[in-house]
Amino acid sequence: MIQQFSISKLFGWALLCVFQTVALGAVFPEKPIRIIVPFSPGGGTDLISRTLGSLMSLDLGQPVLIENKPGASTLIGTDALAKSAPDGYAMVMATLAHAVNPSLLPKLPYSQESSFAPVILIGRSPNVLVVTESSPFKSFQDVMNAAKSNPGKLSYASQGAGTSAHLAGELFNFLAKTEITHIPYKGAGPALTDLLGGQVDMMFATASAVGGFITTGKLRALAVTTSERSPTALLSKVPTVAESGLPSYVAESWYGLLVPAGTPEAIVQRLNGAAKKAAQSDTFKQKIEKEGLIVSAGTPEAFDRYVKAEEVRWRAVVKAANIKAE
């Protein structure tokens, strides 16, 4: 009799937990949500986050606010997310740097394995090697020839150490046996400002960050870093680095949302659904995809597998190229 009562009681508790979880997902959200962007305003990550957030708010019925926390190769913003309450009201827009930092930095302020839960991979895009309209470099081969002839004389900007732009440049140095100097900035905005002002020679920028400048002619696109040419109208005629002289070269940027570990599954699924709806909308694609982003918008599980595979791939590159955090 006691055993039957205990089983019934346990079953009742289990049902109560299920009902509470469902109810939690049904009422969420009840206040504004933050997307932490670990870069300065004005770059590609910021643009994608703001566009996505404004569209997610339509589905969620609450404002989705952008909070820029740049610095330390995205660690400042990412750590802020790790220390946030696991209630779905804070997310971080993770990028390639999130998967590379464990290989670059001896100690992280959070646990890469247990501090986060995946929500969704928004999309992937190439980096684009760009120079100013007044640059003497008209092709990727021009850059490679100049870099080999003048070791240490050329420079390239990035939005920070360990970011996709930094790694794209170091992978180029490693494969081409060149010594182009890396100049890191706290975000793509400041990096582009100095590129346009002539303080640096080039940049492996995200397509989202430089699309407008390419369209207006202020920047010249020399090559994309993916294995195949971009399907977008803006970059479809731009050759890949691989076909321009470095056959084994491949690097891509990506953008995805994470929440703190322990966030209820119902809330994760609610955020995934809102983000997927936003990313697959015509409005989002018109503003973002034309600048190089290829929308993914899959499941949390698919995003988790992707991040882990990126960690493994770039760990090998970082070790082989002896890339150090700056």
Across the range 213-235, mean pLDDT stands at: 91
Q: Is residue 116 domain-shared with residue 257, that is, in the same domain?
A: yes
Please tell me the total count of domains within the chain. 2
Please report the pLDDT score of residue 19 as a whole number: 47
Q: Is residue 72 domain-shared with residue 191, that is, in the same domain?
A: no
Q: What letter represents residue 292's amino acid?
A: G
Q: Residue 52 contacts by C-beta under 8 Å, 6 or more apart in sequence?
A: 35, 64, 122, 275, 278, 279, 284
The answer to whether 152 touches 179, Cβ cutoff 8 Å, is: yes
* Tens of pLDDT, residues 2-50: 455 455 555 555 555 444 544 454 689 999 999 999 998 987 889 899 9
Q: Is residue 243 domain-shared with residue 312, that is, in the same domain?
A: no
When the pLDDT of each residue in the chain is averaged and rounded to a whole number, the result is 89
Residue 58 lies in a domain: yes
Q: Is residue 118 domain-shared with residue 130, that is, in the same domain?
A: no
Q: Is residue 131 domain-shared with residue 245, that is, in the same domain?
A: yes
Residue 326 lies in a domain: no
254 has which bridge partners?
124
Predicted TM-score (pTM) of the model is 0.77
Quote the domain boundaries for residue 317: 31-124+253-321
Across the range 130-149, mean pLDDT stands at: 97
Residue 140 lies in a domain: yes
What CATH number is associated with residue 95?
3.40.190.150
Residue 234 lies in a domain: yes
Neighbouring C-alpha atoms within 13 Å toward the C-beta of 236: 6
The answer to whether 176 touches 147, Cβ cutoff 8 Å, is: yes
Q: Is residue 262 domain-shared with residue 190, that is, in the same domain?
A: no
Residue 199 lies in a domain: yes
The answer to whether 130 touches 158, Cβ cutoff 8 Å, is: no
Residue 19 lies in a domain: no
Q: Is residue 74 domain-shared with residue 43, that is, in the same domain?
A: yes
What CATH number is associated with residue 162?
3.40.190.10
The answer to whether 229 touches 240, Cβ cutoff 8 Å, is: yes
* Tens of pLDDT, residues 56-69: 999 999 999 999 99
Give the three-class secondary structure for 117. Answer: strand
Q: Is residue 168 domain-shared with residue 149, that is, in the same domain?
A: yes
- Cβ burial 82-99 (10 Å sphere, 16+ → b, else e): bebebbbbbbbbbbbbbb
Q: Is residue 37 domain-shared with residue 75, that is, in the same domain?
A: yes
Q: Is residue 97 domain-shared with residue 152, that is, in the same domain?
A: no
Q: Is residue 93 domain-shared with residue 39, that is, in the same domain?
A: yes
Answer with the one of 195, 229, 252 that is the final residue of a domain: 252
* Tens of pLDDT, residues 70-127: 988 899 999 999 999 999 999 999 999 899 999 988 899 999 999 999 999 999 888 8
pLDDT band at 304 (very low <50, low <70, confident <90, very high): very high
pLDDT greater at residue 245 or residue 321:
245
Q: Is residue 114 domain-shared with residue 90, that is, in the same domain?
A: yes
